[in-house]
Amino acid sequence: MQIPAGVEPGVEGVALKADVRDLDFYYGAFHALKKVSMPIHDHRVTALIGPSGCGKSTLLRCFNRMHDLYPGNRYAGGGIVLHPDNTNLLSPDVDPIEVRMRISMVFQKPNPFPKSIFENVAYSLRVRGMSNKSELDDRVESALKGAALWNEVSDRLTELGANLSGGQQQRLCIARALASDPEIILFDEPTSALDPIATASIEELIIELKEKVTILIVTHNMQQAARISDYTAYMYIGEMVEFGITDQIFIKPQKKATEDYITGRFG
């Protein structure tokens, strides 16, 4: 992997795509993230693990400023710097729409719009003002191929997205997230509503996707983190306990708390 100029290499010399620096976040008076720091490596899969309620989703949703949609939520210090342009995503000067145009998201439950398969994927492009039919056709096709869904839906693009199976719907949402050519895709427990076979196909897809895009994934399934991620961050009650190369985190964690969680002694 080529390291872009001006970007510090992270662990193992891989370029950084983003880094979280001393991030504090509040839901009203509740301090949900406490001085969280972690690097996000370019074209790698980074997994966030930790017990339910520890702040994984909260951290993930900072990356696309989802918290801005609700009153009372507050970024209270620190930031998330996106490379190579060194933009602080959480800076009040940065428009959340601009952030969401660069970083897309796949949710826990598949949430296709009640529109056709084609329009679901095309929506990411339409909000960017694309309306040329042949251009849309091309981009939708390549996004569906990228999400390993094209073969299953190429002859029924006008059908409703909701008519697909759960796993297909989630891949449709991945295609929607992929269509706009984002720099990072955020996944919030994308397989927790799916059966094991659909889960396996999504996991396989995520591993393939890192060719194209940087991936940050929340999972409460440690085996999943071990299977698909290059780096793992372990969080506990709003704090970043440990970050490292996935193999090291799972084989030889530095912190006792991480080891207890991973070996199932707690959590």
Partner 1 sequence: MSEMNADQKIEHIRGLIALAKRWDLFFTILGMLSLMVGLLTFIVLFVDMAIQGVPRLSVDFFTSFPSRKAEDAGILSAWVGTVLVMLLTALAAVPLGVAAGVYLEEYAPKNWITDIIEINISNLAGIPSIVYGLLALGLFVYYFGFGQSILSAGLTLALLILPVIIVATREAIRAIPQMIREGSYACGATNWQTVKDHILPYSLAGILTGVIIGMARAIGETAPIITIGALTFIAFLPTAPFQGDPPAGLFDWIFAPFTVMPIQMFNWTSRPEAAFTENAAAAGFVLVFMTLAMNGLAIYVRYRLRKNIKW
Residues found near ligand ADP in the complex (CB under 6 A): 27, 30, 32, 50, 52-58
Choice between 74 and 255, CB closer to ligand ADP: 74
> Is residue 105 involved in binding partner 1 (CB under 8 A)?
yes
List, in order, residues 6 or more apart from 30 with CB less than 8 Å away.
none
Query: What value does the CA radius of gyration of the chain take, rounded to a whole number of Å?
Result: 18
* β-pair partners for 82: 18, 87
Residues constituting the chain: 267
CB of 25 to Mg ion, least distance (A): 14
Considering CB distances under 5 to 8 angstroms, the limit depending on partner class, which of Mg ion, partner 1, ligand ADP, none binds residue 105? Answer: partner 1
**Is the previous residue joined to 196 through a cis bond, with omega within 30 degrees of 0?**
no
Q: Which stretch binds partner 1 (CB under 8 A): 94-102, 132-140, 193-201, 210-218?
A: 94-102
**Sole binder of Mg ion in the list 19, 48, 54, 57 (CB under 5 A):** 57
> Is residue 162 involved in binding partner 1 (CB under 8 A)?
yes
**Sole binder of partner 1 in the list 111, 142, 192, 248 (CB under 8 A):** 111
Q: Which residue shows structure tokens 């826990």? A: 108
**What are the residue ranges of helices labelled H in the chain?**
56-62, 96-102, 117-126, 133-146, 150-153, 166-179, 196-209, 222-228, 246-251, 256-262
Choice between 57 and 169, CB closer to Mg ion: 57
CB of 122 to partner 1, least distance (A): 10
List, in order, residues 6 or more apart from 264 with CB less than 8 Å away.
none
> Is residue 219 involved in binding Mg ion (CB under 5 A)?
no
CB of 76 to ligand ADP, least distance (A): 14
CB of 190 to Mg ion, least distance (A): 11
CB of 22 to partner 1, least distance (A): 26
**Listed residue (136, 198, 127, 134) closest to 169, CA to CA:** 198
Q: Are 198 and 118 contacting, i.e. CB atoms less than 8 angstroms apart?
A: no
Q: Which residue shows structure tokens 């693009």? A: 157
- Residue 221 tokens read as 């399934």
**Sole binder of partner 1 in the list 38, 66, 149, 153 (CB under 8 A):** 66
Choice between 16 and 177, CB closer to partner 1: 177
Give dist(CA 25, CA 23) in Å, integer.
7
What is the contact surface with partner 1 in residues (CB under 8 A)? Answer: 64, 66, 69, 71, 97, 100-101, 104-105, 107, 109, 111-114, 123-124, 126-128, 160, 162, 173, 176-177, 180
What is the contact surface with Mg ion in residues (CB under 5 A)? Answer: 57
